[in-house]
Structure 1
Amino acid sequence: MSQPLTVQWVNTTDLFCSPSNPRHNEDAVPHVTSSLRRFGWQQPIVAKPSGEVIAGNTRLKAALSLEEPQVPVVWFEGTDLDATAYAIADNRTGEFASWEEEGLTRLLTQLREEDALDGVGFDEDDLDALLSSLAEEDAACLDDAGAQEPPENPLTEPGDLWLMGEHRLLCGDSTIPQDVARLMNGETAHLLATDPPYLVDYDGTNHPAEHHKKAGRKGADVGNKHWDAYIDPKTSVKFFEDFLRLGLDHLHVNAPIYQWHASRRQALVEEAWTNLDLLLHQTIVWVKPRGVLTRSHFLWKSEPCFYGWRTGKQPKKHRRPPCKMTNVWEIGSESDGIHPTQKPRDVFAWPIQWHTREGEICYEPFSGSGTQIIAAEENHRRCYAMELSPAFVDAAVARWEKTTGKKAATENGKTLP
């Protein structure tokens, strides 16, 4: 029958690591040292009466590095043969266990939220790797149906609010306060990432004139209601300010902002950011697989994106990109000609993974083909999106339905055929 353990505090210098220990533990010493520093002694060392450590060689090395004068010890009562067997068993039996990665990631994320990862043996890079691995698995399980053809006669009408699982998609105007407030429904987003109209030879549906017919008559009519007015620098800046200002009203104070834009409009976007006291931290560059033929002297093979936040309110440490991530994103294109500025899913999925947590909201003022909705779906986030064109609302809803196998409906019960 087991007896209660007797733990004694012993001078550290009276103990020594087992010379026959086959376990290579030097790499573990810094982690155990960090754990001891934070949690103190929660587990004693097991040693022979001679002072030779049987179990806890790494803990002894950590104690020596911390210059601790005494350590807790349980004296092993048994033969040398039993001591050898126990030393092996102490290490080997733990190797049969494995991590349930989703549960581990959830726990580590909670610790990181409270800045409490120190001493647990996993650091920021480890957690980022786990999150990335799980996101890749989810993406592999979710077969994106891709952008859908906008119908000529869309079912959606201006003002329709679609409920797509946990996502919300309003056929409305992201520069109108009432529309944004209705979409957000009193909730706060942790990310604003968007690909707004570039205001460069585009009509109101966020598409070049030659794509006018694909937006449908109803979509084009509604689209041209506003955007045609934004053709000069002054009105362009106002447009950028309007949708950003309203987004900020429903955005967490430390939330980041990603705004894709045309290179020729960069100065105007920057002016809008300055007027709103937004800090432009860096420019992200998406490098496409191939150049795009234009009238410019060089083929366009990249698109820029401003990344920043409210001045003085940068994202918390645990809600930033991985430390090894660069500002150059080489991602394959997913364009199919339906939406001229269509972005690959990862330009939204990556910020979602870095800056938000499961169940949190991403605000998308210009949904387009619904790419960010799909990125949020595969990462277990909620996307609250706005789209002015009824035809492209229909297309985004159809894309989500085909991707998930689920059915969406408007607040008043309309569904796609």
Structure 2
Amino acid sequence: MEKLTIEAWPVARLRSYTRQLRKNDKNIERMIACIQEFGFRVPILARPDGEVIDGDLRLKAAQKMGLESVPVIPAEGMSEEQVRAFRILANSSVAWSTWDDEVLAQELRDLWDADFNLELTGLELSEVEDLLQSIEPESQEQGDAVPETQAEPVVKPGDLWRLGEHFLFCGDSTKAESYEQLMQGREADMIWTDPPYNVDYEGTAGKIKNDSMSDSAFREFLERAFAGMFGAMKKGGAAYVAHADSEGVNFREAFRKAGFRFSNCLIWRKNVFVLGRADYQCQHEPILYGWKPGAAHSWLGGRKRRSVQELSELGAVKVAPDGTVSLFLNDRALHISGQNLEVQDLESSLVFEDKPQRSELHPTMKPVALVERFLKNSSRKGEVVLDPFGGSGTTLIACERTRRACRTIELDTKFADVIIRRWQEHTGKDAVLQSTGERFAMLEAANG
């Protein structure tokens, strides 16, 4: 076997092959970051005249970094045909094998625990998050299960569907006529909703509509949506709005402009983080809480709720100077003091609920239990809960389980189908098209 040598060549001596087999210019910065972290560990394979056979992206990174020399393996004695074939082989052989996802996930978990930058693995952040979540302990409450989608949606724009005591309208939640069709003269007693976050989120189920706008366009979108909600609910009705911190200003200002009274911001602490490019990886979501002025707001949650600021900075266990031991378990704070171990049990507004392990049918799906606790705090059985951004139908399922009547709007026909299928599988009942009396299952069968 030929003995290979590694030589240090001036970067100026090397040149890319004129026929670019792979489009890689957008990844130059990623390669630079890898070289800065690991060093130039993989030599470039080049012909004696400097033409690169393998390592074009590494060469481009070296040129942009201003490196004077790089390690090179000279390819001696290869014919023109061998060079062409090997160049293709070097780019295609990676597809010969597949990842062992379980082993890969464990490797990534070890790197994460060591606080290593996982972008330097070369994997996309969305892949990394999915892999890490795959090895988290399963925690799916009853009602969180969702059905598979079909290629051709049954629901059409403008449809109004009856699902037992609930109604689903397929339309635009920024338009007054959508609320008129949905509410049918009734007022909502409460709002729980999870609007688009304007972060261009895309999961395995696809992109969320209205989730990638300019700042001014998104603000206008929120103002129209909140105005519609405000007009559809009773005075004193409570409103909960899940949102992203990055758009917190737009959400709060649009919420107030519509006329809502903003009370405070609750925190949903997730059991897993959401991997992103921020310095601090998000393991929470904020939820605006307020109500429509004009009457005393409905509150059934008692007086033991505490502010996030009081509890969020404390660890699982804290010992006060007077010897009191505080234990934080899920949404309970246990304060233990004295020789007789006197325990005071407090509730917290720092809400702990597991994030759904998979959000394959809607990219930002919430756990049913999370929504249920807010429904119980601010509404009674039989009352109407409005959600103008239906998503995967979590609010509707929470209403079904707590015996509230849900009124929900979903713009995307695909996700409207998900809501109906999810409710049907949860209840064993049939959804009915309000205008014709046709059952969803019948129309689904006709779709083939």
TM-score (norm 1): 0.58
Q: Partners of 1:365 and 1:407 in 2: how far apart?
A: 22
Cα RMSD, aligned residues only: 1.9
Aligned to 1:369: 392
Aligned equivalent of 2:350, options 328, 346, 351: 328
Is residue 256 from structure 1 mapped to residue 238 from structure 2 by the alignment?
yes
Q: What does residue range 217-236 of structure 1 map to in structure 2 within 5 Å?
A: 227=210, 231-236=213-218
8 A contact 1:283–1:305 mirrored in 2: yes
8 A contact 1:175–1:243 mirrored in 2: yes
Residues 328-384 of structure 1: CA distance to partner in whole angstroms, max 9, x if unpaired? 101111241322211111222112112211211000101111001110001111001
Distance 1:313 1:330, change over 3 A: same
SS in 2 for 1:337: coil
Q: CA deviation at 1:242?
A: 0.9
- Name the structure with the higher helix share: 1
Q: Partners of 1:188 and 1:381 in 2: how far apart?
A: 13
Distance 1:347 1:314, change over 3 A: farther
Aligned to 1:102: none
8 A contact 2:389–2:410 mirrored in 1: yes
Aligned to 2:143: 144
Q: Partners of 1:148 and 1:414 in 2: how far apart?
A: 18
Q: Partners of 2:157 and 2:217 in 1: how far apart?
A: 24
8 A contact 2:267–2:350 mirrored in 1: yes
Residues 92-120 of structure 1: CA distance to partner in whole angstroms, max 9, x if unpaired? xxxxxxxxxxxxxxxxxxxxxxxxxxxxx
Letter in 2 for 1:261: H
SS in 2 for 1:253: strand
Aligned to 2:256: 274
8 A contact 1:147–1:370 mirrored in 2: no
Aligned equivalent of 2:271, options 272, 275, 289: 289
Is residue 357 from structure 1 mapped to residue 356 from structure 2 by the alignment?
no
8 A contact 2:230–2:258 mirrored in 1: no
Q: CA deviation at 1:308?
A: 0.6
Aligned to 2:408: 385
Q: Partners of 1:277 and 1:158 in 2: how far apart?
A: 29
Aligned to 1:64: none
Letter in 1 for 2:273: G
Distance 1:253 1:150, change over 3 A: same
Structure 1 portions without partners, runs of 5+: 1-141, 203-207
8 A contact 2:194–2:242 mirrored in 1: yes
Letter in 1 for 2:152: N
Q: Partners of 2:273 and 2:143 in 1: how far apart?
A: 25
Q: CA deviation at 1:196?
A: 0.5
Is residue 162 from structure 1 mapped to residue 161 from structure 2 by the alignment?
yes
- Name the structure with the higher strand share: 2
Aligned to 2:221: 239
SS in 1 for 2:358: coil
Q: Partners of 1:150 and 1:298 in 2: how far apart?
A: 34
8 A contact 1:145–1:403 mirrored in 2: no
Q: Partners of 2:272 and 2:244 in 1: how far apart?
A: 17
Q: Partners of 1:250 and 1:273 in 2: how far apart?
A: 14
Q: CA deviation at 1:145?
A: 5.9
Letter in 1 for 2:159: D
Aligned equivalent of 1:300, options 276, 282, 289: 282
Distance 1:314 1:281, change over 3 A: farther
Letter in 1 for 2:196: P
Aligned to 1:394: 417
Aligned to 2:152: 153
8 A contact 1:199–1:231 mirrored in 2: yes
SS in 1 for 2:418: helix
